[in-house]
Amino acid sequence: RQVFEKWLYQEADADAAKLVVQNVWQFDDDPEPKVREIVSITVHKSGEGSRVIDFALRFETVTKETVTFKGAVGKGYGGFKFRLNAENKPFDFFTDDGLHENDTFVTTTPWVDAVWTSEESGNRQGVAIFQHSSNPGYPHDGWMLRHYGIVGPAWPLEEDYTLVSGDSFGLEYRVVIHDGDTESAGIAGAFDRYSRDSEEESGE
């Protein structure tokens, strides 16, 4: 289970609000921590018809044992997910390959945009999830697209990911909440800019 250790950062200004928290993972019957987790959430100032939220997660083994993030056939509910309001159904899911009409656990794409029509305004709205190019296995093969109202990457999918003592890895995602549909909101272009920025950050 996840156990809170301490806040590392809590600040806000005119451009963004940022929170960073440090947690550990441990078993109920064994108080020795196995993994240290650092979660960073940055909520950016809203722009014209959109708001960007960046998530960065870092995991480090803090035990002498190996730690395995388990994969499984048919896995989909683990990982970074966005739960959609079911009252907004029906949902349309778009990727870099276009519209996905069927539910799936597996599709290789760096981004997904879930779009619906607001019952109140009659306008199209959506939420997109972008993967950072530094994520292991990028772009993830596992994406959960469920038309009842859930979307997000499932990682690891079917293969185990094992860390030895002292190893660490990170996962980063950007969420874009937007007015309009995928095309009018410029989601593909927004992802391209995010991808270029992430590659520059990593020196690629």
Give, in degrees to the nearest 5, the angle at Cα 158 between 177 and 192: 35
Q: What one-character DSSP code corresponds to residue 87?
A: G
Question: Do 90 and 119 contact (CB within 8 A), yes or no?
Answer: no
3-state secondary structure of 22: strand
What is the biggest distance separating any 2 CA atoms in the chain, rounded to whole angstroms? 56
Instruction: Per residue of the chain (204 residues), give pLDDT as tens.
Output: 999 999 999 999 999 999 999 999 999 999 999 999 999 999 999 999 999 999 999 999 999 999 999 888 776 677 899 999 999 999 999 999 999 999 998 899 999 999 999 988 999 999 999 999 999 989 988 899 999 999 999 888 888 999 999 999 999 999 999 999 999 999 999 999 999 988 777 665
Q: Which residue has the tokens 């992430």?
A: 198
**Tokens describing residue 124:** 């199209």
pTM exceeding 0.75: yes
